């Protein structure tokens, strides 16, 4: 007996592991080898790579791709349309699958809508990364420029109280 739900428009490929009580909604794709914990919610149009790991009680909102070598510990929240990268300097004409970098989101952290997580980074326990936060390379005329809003450690969410003790800047 199947102990999880997969909407009829979604694909959970043979060889993936899905925990009891997990729900996978419309137009999503779970690749073989992916591991999803118990009681997770996978939103619409989500792609989970073959070497991705999601802990228990994770919530993935709509339009998120979780690539190979991305690890989410328990109770991680990924907001709508947030982005993971898997290569530091992607080029269409150079294959760099051997350069994927591990990305780790620790227990209870929250990543806001449209935020970008550059590969090779870790986000700490219960950290909050606000919506639209950008940390990315911008390539112009062969030069590299860094743009973005830096996350500052002024806010802490407590596990059950969701209490804010400061402000984002």
Q: Strands, E, within 101-155: which ranges?
A: 103-105, 110-111, 116-117, 122-123, 128-129, 135-140, 143-148
| The model scores a pTM over 0.85 | no
The answer to whether residue 105 sits within a structural domain is yes
- Confidence at residue 132, expressed as pLDDT on a 0 to 100 scale: 62
The answer to whether residue 47 sits within a structural domain is yes
Tokens of 122: 């870790």
The answer to whether residue 25 sits within a structural domain is yes
pLDDT digits (tens, 9 = 90+) for 57-84: 999 999 999 999 999 999 999 999 999 9
Question: What CATH number is associated with residue 68?
Answer: 2.160.10.10
pLDDT digits (tens, 9 = 90+) for 151-168: 444 444 545 444 444 433
The answer to whether residue 161 sits within a structural domain is no
Tell me the residue range of the domain where 25 lies.
Answer: 5-148
* Overall domain count for the chain: 1
Distance between CA atoms of 71 and 147, rounded to whole angstroms? 25
Distance between CA atoms of 145 and 5, rounded to whole angstroms? 44
Please spell the DSSP secondary structure of 68-107, one letter per residue. TTEEE-TT-EE-TT-EE-S-SS-BTTB--GGG---EEE-T
The answer to whether residue 143 sits within a structural domain is yes
The answer to whether residue 165 sits within a structural domain is no
The answer to whether residue 162 sits within a structural domain is no
Angle subtended at Cα 66 by Cα 62 and Cα 70, rounded to the nearest 5 degrees: 145
Residues of the chain falling short of pLDDT 70: 1, 131-169
The answer to whether residue 167 sits within a structural domain is no
């Amino acid at each position: 007996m199947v102990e999880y739900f997969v909407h009829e428009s979604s694909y959970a490929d043979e060889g993936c592991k899905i925990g009891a009580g997990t729900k996978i909604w419309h137009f999503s794709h779970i690749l073989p080898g992916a591991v999803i914990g118990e009681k997770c919610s996978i939103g619409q149009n989500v792609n989970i790579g073959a070497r991705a790991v999601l802990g228990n009680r994770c919530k993935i909102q709509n339009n998120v791709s979780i690539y190979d070598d991305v690890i989410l510990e328990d109770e991680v929240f990924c907001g709508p349309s947030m982005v993971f990268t898997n290569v530091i300097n992607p080029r269409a004409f150079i294959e760099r699958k051997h350069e994927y970098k591990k990305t780790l989101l620790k227990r209870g952290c929250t990543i806001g809508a449209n935020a970008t997580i550059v590969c090779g980074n870790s986000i700490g326990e219960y950290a909050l990364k606000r919506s639209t936060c950008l940390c990315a390379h911008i390539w112009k005329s062969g030069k590299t420029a860094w743009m973005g809003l830096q996350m500052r450690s002024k806010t802490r969410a407590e596990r059950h109280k969701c209490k804010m003790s400061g402000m984002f800047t």
